[in-house]
């Protein structure tokens, strides 16, 4: 964990905005390890609900497989549940949330109720064409969730997770080229307007996420240290 986490006197709350493949999950996991913040990925929470066969998961499954957005009602219920957990008090990195203006307004209200706010909404700026390749080549360790890519981030030993030694790798059902294009369309239609929403609140920061994973990591580290004060 980095020195900045030890000196922080209040929680730092960050949003990672960006289309599928922008690197939200990759960077959220790095920030979690470095600064002790908690990654809250609505995609992961929804996939867990689908796997558990809950009512919310049953309703979300087909929508996610098609690449469309799950209803605000379902997503907000799942996120509110998670935000009630104690660890969230350490500060959060929202990965894949909010995705609509209604979700952004609900988040503002939720944080305000506990006297908190968003310290930075970080827009990971990328080119759509490259995202299809990034997402189609992605795979993760089934045991610990560490993310890899066929070209950009391969395990040191083929088929073995660098982090936990797991040997089962998995790919997401919605990571095919056709669904990625639908997900990109959903991003531009429903989520990209949030860039103006957070710019209007003076909390927007943009990062060139076409750069390498380590360069993006360095840019985010600078931002976290600045907002942590
Ligand atoms: P979600 O799970 O949030 O997926 P997503 O937004 O489509 O984002 P991804 O996880 O695909 O991409 P990422 O930005 O995390 O990229 P990653 O770091 O893995 O959502 C899935 C679905 O759930 C949605 O379609 C929707 O149906 C539903 N949903 C979720 N939240 C919702 C909400 N709030 N409201 C409504 N519906 C919701 O990187 C991708 C690959 O690229 C990796 O292999 C990585 O190694 C590689 N990579 C990362 N950075 C770089 C780099 N800088 N250079 C080269 N390679 C890189």
Could you read off the pLDDT of 154-173 as tens digits, one per residue?
999 999 999 999 999 999 98
Nearest CA to ligand 1 atom 52: 213
Please tell me the pTM assigned to this model: 0.93
Distance CA(152)–CA(95), nearest Å, equals 21
Q: What average pLDDT score do residues 70-94 get? A: 95
Query: pLDDT digits over 101-155, tens only?
Result: 999 999 999 999 988 999 999 999 999 999 999 999 999 999 999 999 999 899 9
Q: Using alpha carbons only, how large is the chain's radius of gyration in Å?
A: 17
Which residue among 8, 24, 29, 82 is the active-site one?
Answer: 24
**Do 155 and 48 touch, CB atoms closer than 8 A?**
no
Query: pLDDT digits over 185-197, tens only?
Result: 999 999 999 999 9
98 upstream amide cis, omega within 30 of 0: yes
Task: State yes or no: is 99 an active-site residue.
Answer: yes
Mean pLDDT score of the chain? 93
End-to-end CA distance of the chain: 17
9 pLDDT band, cuts 50/70/90, is: low
**Which residues are registered as beta bridge partners of 138?**
149
Distances (CA, A) of 31 to 35, 40, 49, 148: 6, 12, 25, 17
Task: State yes or no: is 24 an active-site residue.
Answer: yes
What percentage of the chain carries pLDDT values higher than 90? 90
What percentage of the chain carries pLDDT values higher than 70? 96
Using the atom order of ligand 1, give the atom closest to the CA of residue 210: 53
Helix residue ranges, H only, the chain:
3-7, 24-35, 42-52, 55-66, 72-83, 101-113, 128-136, 177-186, 193-199, 213-228
Task: State yes or no: is 34 an active-site residue.
Answer: no
Distance CA(173)–CA(58), nearest Å, equals 15
Task: State the pLDDT at residue 10.
Answer: 72
46 pLDDT band, cuts 50/70/90, is: very high
Query: pLDDT digits over 17-43, tens only?
Result: 999 999 999 999 999 999 999 999 999
Among 41, 43, 61, 127, which residue has the most ligand 1 atoms within 8 Å of its CB, making it the best to mutate?
Answer: 43
Task: State the pLDDT at residue 229.
Answer: 80
Q: Which residues line ligand 1 (CB under 6 A)?
A: 18, 20-26, 42-43, 46, 63-64, 67-70, 75, 96-97, 99, 103, 134-135, 138, 147, 149, 152-153, 183, 209, 212-213, 216
Question: Who's near 134: CB < 8 A, 6+ residues apart?
Answer: 21, 23, 149, 152
């Amino acid at each position: 964990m980095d020195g900045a986490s030890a000196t922080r006197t209040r929680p730092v709350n960050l949003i990672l905005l960006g289309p599928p493949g922008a690197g939200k999950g990759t960077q959220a996991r790095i920030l979690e390890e470095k600064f002790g913040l908690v990654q809250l990925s609505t995609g992961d929470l929804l996939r867990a609900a689908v796997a558990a066969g809950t009512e919310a998961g049953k309703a979300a499954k087909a929508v996610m497989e098609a690449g469309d957005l799950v209803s605000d009602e379902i997503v907000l219920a799942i996120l509110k549940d998670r935000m009630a957990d104690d660890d969230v008090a350490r500060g959060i990195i929202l990965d894949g949330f909010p995705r609509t203006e209604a979700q952004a307004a609900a988040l503002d209200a939720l944080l305000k109720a506990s006297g908190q706010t968003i310290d930075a909404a970080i827009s990971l700026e990328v080119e759509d064409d490259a995202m299809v390749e990034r997402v189609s080549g992605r795979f993760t360790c089934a045991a610990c969730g560490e993310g890899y890519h066929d070209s950009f981030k391969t395990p040191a030993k083929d088929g073995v997770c660098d982090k936990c030694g797991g040997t089962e790798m998995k790919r997401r059902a919605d990571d095919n080229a056709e669904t990625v294009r639908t997900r990109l369309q959903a991003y531009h239609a429903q989520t990209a307007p949030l860039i103006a929403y957070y710019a209007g609140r003076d909390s927007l920061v943009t990062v060139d996420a076409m750069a390498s994973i380590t360069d993006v990591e360095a840019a985010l580290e600078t931002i976290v240290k600045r907002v942590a004060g």
